[in-house]
Structure 1
Amino acid sequence: MVRVTSTDEASTVVRFAANHRIPFTVKGGGYSTTGASITHGGIVLDLSNLRRVHVNPVSRIVTAQGGALWEDIDVAAVQHRLSVVGSTLNHIGVAGATLGGGYGWLTGQYGLAIDNLLWARMILADGSVMLVSEDQHPDLFWAIRGAGQCFGVAIELAFRAHRQDHPVFAGTLLFSADNLPAIVEFANKFDILTDGNQGFWFGFAMPSSMDRCAIFVAIFYNGPQTAARQFFSPLFSIGPVVNETGMLPYDSLNGILNVMDTVSRRRILEGADITLPSDEPVGTRKSLRGSNITLPLDINFAASIYSEFDGIMREFPQARDSILLFELLPNTQITKVPNDATAFASRGPYHNVISLFGWQDADLDERMHSLQGDIMNQIGTRAGIACKPDYSVSKHGTGLYANYAGHDLPIEAIFGDNLPRLRELKKKYDPNNIFKKWHNLNTSTDTKNSI
């Protein structure tokens, strides 16, 4: 692991690894559950020392180094009453989340993170540093907006910021399972009710104090508490068993879901790395998978997914920290951009679904991955966009968010009609396929990612 302190050092590492054909990967926030941030027997380029953020309040442009976390941007921008469309988790890497697309609570107003990306400074496979934007190397700029991890190291990124001079209403709620029909009923009205200023997530989790799964809800309203409580009144009227909502400063918003953490803690190391004692736990084994749903959602289907997830949690108590969420964010701004305008190929009339499974026993790896894959495949095939009679990849996109996709899915399912162009650009900018740990765009028949 090489923990660099400058662009020049990072460029040297990339060039060295490429010249000697050494397995290589980049670690920004280190949030990946697929092994994309590590490599056994190779080199990890660690950007965690490169977290500087600069805010220009006049131009409303925020620049961040490649190792920055979203918390770094949120805190810096709010000092100038600004915000940037970013991740709904503030402790993950800016570059990784952005290059795959980048959904955030502000997506309903301003689109994806890549839709607000102005330029990026990339270290390419030969170690050269290139500034890419709509005006400079636009073909590469097209590619990095949705598949950037496959083309280089984003050592610096610049975003369009937006005025955010007021707090927001947000937080989490917990309901008993018998409230699922009412929550699904509200979900089915969300696309009609929202004006872009709201976000509504719901799903299933098993708190340690309960013997069956509860309905977990996260809400967001970019406005005053009175209006927020009015919008979400159908939920509050049910009577949640836990209510942790309220007015928050914007730089606290993206911390409300940090319970979904996939990293036990981020170590701040000085000097040489340390070796952990063999009896020290280094974190839960985790797997993240995604799918999509279209509304309206059938209540019987939602109930069947709840029952299956609840059954898994009961059968495998060590997996109780797992969670499954239906992420309802307004998608009007997303779908205004055509699917072929950037490499991001999932712009359509649907919403993401995410599952994060966690367990301790290595012997359960295969079983957990199988159970997770089965339940997410059910969601996609029974309630996703692909099951609609008029579905077209060219028109509606793939329905699969690349940052939520596991390595066992075919690459065509992630990038759809954009894949041929991506592969041609891969030949141009990374002909030896140095950057393949995230999703492997290699045109050869061997598309396995090295781990």
Structure 2
Amino acid sequence: MAQGVKLPNTPTCVVEVARPEDVSNVIKIIGNTRTPFAIKSGGHASNPGFSSTPGVFISLVRLNEVTLSSDKSTVEIGTGNVWTDVYAALDGTDVNVVGGRVTGPGVGGFSLGGGYSWLINQYRLTCDNVKALNLILPNGTITYIDSSQSDLFFALKGGLNRFGVVTSIIFNTVPQSNNVYGGIQIYSSEAIPDLIMATYEFQNEAADPKAQAILTINGGSIPGAVLLLFYDGPESPEACEPYNSIGGLNLSTVKSQSYASFSTGTPSQLQAGHRGAFQSMMTTRELAILNGGILLSYDLEPFQRYGEHATDSAFPHADSPLPLNLYYAWSLESEDAFWRGLIPQSIDHLTDVAKAKGIGSEPPVYLNYALDTYSGDQLYGATNAARLLSIQQEYDPNSVMKLAGGFSF
């Protein structure tokens, strides 16, 4: 690249805000000048333009407070934090927060998108555990949002970045034992059939809400499988026994450890520096190699009925929909159109297969895994999408937040 050439999404300026007042001032300038902008919490979203911009790049990294209330019933967390920092700050307090499962995701986008946690079976989605939020409205007004402002409180639990900039979130805490049991197990490809059957057994027979597992099936240039195991207690539970006798195990980090220690051992940035996208698909190694593929990763996440006590949220989850997540990583910009074009085709195929087997449904798509081509109806359902659009028009009549990348209603 010639010296001085500016890439399409290289920001004109970067602002590291340190106070809500800073965000207010920046948003007022952006609104008055109609300048494109982006907001970065953890920057974990893979959709182009969702946390990048050619305009003003607002980094929340200095909004990093983690303040536990005197009675330990709530904790205020700045949206510049990543979850591993939060768990480190709460280590030894005997309480925790229902947050992210792996290293990388930030508190902001993860929570505003719903939030699947290791504690979900016991305590619902992350957004269900939000007590209040500190929000900078699109006109720059600094405001406190809780259940008394029912429309915005609803919208911010799944509505992502379309209603202003959230600077901190107050969560209800949950009890946390000193040690949990869990870690990563890496298997060779021949173990995959047995791992799938064990996961099926885990999903259908495990009644212990403290136990969780994620099975990742990898293709491309590094085939194999990764099993993440978690138990909210210090010893291996009976629920995990289906995995104990499977051969092909190459590496295991599973042990009793603090929650903070466990959280740092579940990386999600193995392909950092490559191009990538989230969605669902199964394919062959040859397809990946011929088109610059580095990793094709398919995640099975067998949750229980976590939505039975769901709160009123933009992301509807009372039916406990299960996310199926595929992550692609590739190296060449010239292959962007190929991979991002293939993903919607895979969705249609998998939907047809599920319906043919009698297990198809029409749940909304989990926002933090969704490709940027999804409509509001696909993400939220028609009723919630219409409600969100109405709230957006009320609180952002000048469409300031549409100057940032993100989903539309």
Cross-structure match for 1:128? 141
TM-score (norm 2): 0.88
Note the alpha carbon deviations across 1:57-104, whole angstroms, 9 max, x for none: 514211011211112211111231211111112332101100010111
Cross-structure match for 2:397? 431
Farther off after superposition, 11-20 or 194-203: 194-203
> Larger helix proportion, structure 1 or 2?
1
Report the Cα offset of residue 15 of structure 1. 0.8
Pair 1:37–1:386, CA change in 2 (3 A): farther
* Counterparts of 2:65 and 2:321, CA distance in 1: 35
Answer yes or no: is the 8 Å Cα contact 1:121–1:131 preserved in 2.
yes
Which amino acid counterpart does residue 187 of structure 2 have in structure 1? F
Report the Cα offset of residue 433 of structure 1. 2.1
Which amino acid counterpart does residue 315 of structure 1 have in structure 2? L
Which amino acid counterpart does residue 178 of structure 1 have in structure 2? E
Q: Secondary structure at the match of 1:126?
A: coil
**Which residue, 75, 78, 81 being the options, matches 1:62?**
75
Answer yes or no: is the 8 Å Cα contact 1:207–1:214 preserved in 2.
no
Answer yes or no: is the 8 Å Cα contact 2:83–2:107 preserved in 1.
yes
1:243-322, aligned counterparts within 5 Å? 243-261=252-270, 264=272, 283-289=273-279, 305=282, 308-316=283-291, 318-322=292-296
Which amino acid counterpart does residue 333 of structure 1 have in structure 2? Y
Which amino acid counterpart does residue 260 of structure 2 have in structure 1? D
The total of aligned residue pairs comes to 391
1:391-410, aligned counterparts within 5 Å? 391=361, 397-398=363-364, 400-410=365-375
Answer yes or no: is the 8 Å Cα contact 2:101–2:263 preserved in 1.
yes
Pair 1:108–1:238, CA change in 2 (3 A): same
Pair 1:373–1:55, CA change in 2 (3 A): same
* Counterparts of 1:100 and 1:119, CA distance in 2: 15
Answer yes or no: is the 8 Å Cα contact 1:24–1:434 preserved in 2.
no
Answer yes or no: is the 8 Å Cα contact 1:2–1:43 preserved in 2.
yes
Alignment of 1:367 with 2:338, yes or no, is yes
Cross-structure match for 1:336? 309
Report the Cα offset of residue 37 of structure 1. 0.7
1:64-103, aligned counterparts within 5 Å? 64-103=77-116
* Counterparts of 2:396 and 2:50, CA distance in 1: 17
1:19-34, aligned counterparts within 5 Å? 19-34=32-47
Cross-structure match for 2:408? 441
Note the alpha carbon deviations across 1:219-265, whole angstroms, 9 max, x for none: 1111232x43x332221201223222111210122233314456x4x
Cross-structure match for 2:215? 202
Answer yes or no: is the 8 Å Cα contact 2:102–2:268 preserved in 1.
no
Cross-structure match for 1:222? 232
Answer yes or no: is the 8 Å Cα contact 1:381–1:387 preserved in 2.
no
**Which residue, 37, 47, 61 being the options, matches 2:51?**
37
* Counterparts of 1:78 and 1:191, CA distance in 2: 33
Which amino acid counterpart does residue 334 of structure 1 have in structure 2? G
TM-score (norm 1): 0.81
Pair 1:192–1:319, CA change in 2 (3 A): same
Report the Cα offset of residue 290 of structure 1. 5.2
Pair 1:166–1:347, CA change in 2 (3 A): same
Answer yes or no: is the 8 Å Cα contact 1:289–1:355 preserved in 2.
yes
* Counterparts of 1:325 and 1:55, CA distance in 2: 34
Which amino acid counterpart does residue 258 of structure 2 have in structure 1? P
Report the Cα offset of residue 112 of structure 1. 0.7
Q: Secondary structure at the match of 2:158?
A: helix
Which amino acid counterpart does residue 309 of structure 2 have in structure 1? K
Note the alpha carbon deviations across 1:26-70, whole angstroms, 9 max, x for none: 111111211211112x21211111111111251421101121111
Over the matched positions of the two proteins, sequence identity in percent amounts to: 24
Which amino acid counterpart does residue 202 of structure 1 have in structure 2? L
Report the Cα offset of residue 125 of structure 1. 0.5
Answer yes or no: is the 8 Å Cα contact 1:203–1:216 preserved in 2.
yes
* Counterparts of 1:310 and 1:218, CA distance in 2: 23
Cross-structure match for 2:297? 323
Which amino acid counterpart does residue 286 of structure 1 have in structure 2? G
Root mean square deviation, CA, Å: 2.4
* Counterparts of 1:175 and 1:194, CA distance in 2: 26
Answer yes or no: is the 8 Å Cα contact 1:422–1:441 preserved in 2.
no
Answer yes or no: is the 8 Å Cα contact 2:183–2:255 preserved in 1.
yes
**Which residue, 21, 45, 48 being the options, matches 2:61?**
48
* Counterparts of 2:26 and 2:150, CA distance in 1: 26
Note the alpha carbon deviations across 1:182-234, whole angstroms, 9 max, x for none: 222222222431321111111222597x6xx2122111111232x43x33222
Answer yes or no: is the 8 Å Cα contact 1:290–1:401 preserved in 2.
no
* Counterparts of 2:150 and 2:117, CA distance in 1: 25
- Which structure 2 segments of 5+ residues have no match? 1-13
* Counterparts of 1:181 and 1:313, CA distance in 2: 21
Answer yes or no: is the 8 Å Cα contact 1:198–1:329 preserved in 2.
no
Pair 1:251–1:353, CA change in 2 (3 A): same
Cross-structure match for 1:302? none
Cross-structure match for 2:5? none
Cross-structure match for 1:234? 242
Report the Cα offset of residue 324 of structure 1. 1.8
Answer yes or no: is the 8 Å Cα contact 2:104–2:269 preserved in 1.
no
Which amino acid counterpart does residue 149 of structure 1 have in structure 2? N
Q: Secondary structure at the match of 2:200?
A: helix
Answer yes or no: is the 8 Å Cα contact 1:290–1:405 preserved in 2.
no
Cross-structure match for 2:8? none
Pair 1:290–1:53, CA change in 2 (3 A): farther
